[in-house]
Copies of this chain bind each other. A is one copy, B any other.
Amino acid sequence: MGKYDSLKLENQVCFPLYALSREVIKLYKPLLEPFDLTYTQYITMMVIWEEKKILFKDLGSRLFLDSGTLTPVLKKLEAKGLVTKYRNKDDDRVVTVEITQKGMELKEKIAKVPEDMYKSFKGDREKLMELKKLLDDLLQEDSK
């Protein structure tokens, strides 16, 4: 191995991670466009659909996103009428995010997106599950 081989793009692990991530998000785009959601808005809604009501702080740690990213995303989701936000009565610093009726209705309509995404995948499904396991492991390792 040459002196600078470790500086070659093809020898990086992070690069295909980064590139594939962006490529997959591009695949989501046409599926989410009919629902007027970006990918970040979509994964944010996923957590809110599951929890119905969640603290801003917890939402951030679930998504690995900080307030600088999440604040404007939630403002847009609120403007679309999908969620509401309010400050805690006991502790004014704490913000709770809650699903609205309209937000729940979107969940019904959008339920086919993961299915469509999965169907469009032509490769080996075993490998995909293997990949997910490796990623989840590393992500957990990192967040410790």
Contacts and interface: CB of A to CB of B under 8 A. Distances in A.
**How many copies make up the complex?**
2
A91 interface: no
B141 A9 contact: no
Kindly state the interface size class of chain A when it binds its partner: 35 or more
A62 B25 contact: no
B62 A136 contact: no
Nearest to A118: B6
Interface string A103-128: 00001001101110110001100011
Which of A23, A64, A135 has the largest number of chain B CB atoms within 10 A?
A135
A111 B3 contact: yes
Contacts of A123: 137-138, 141
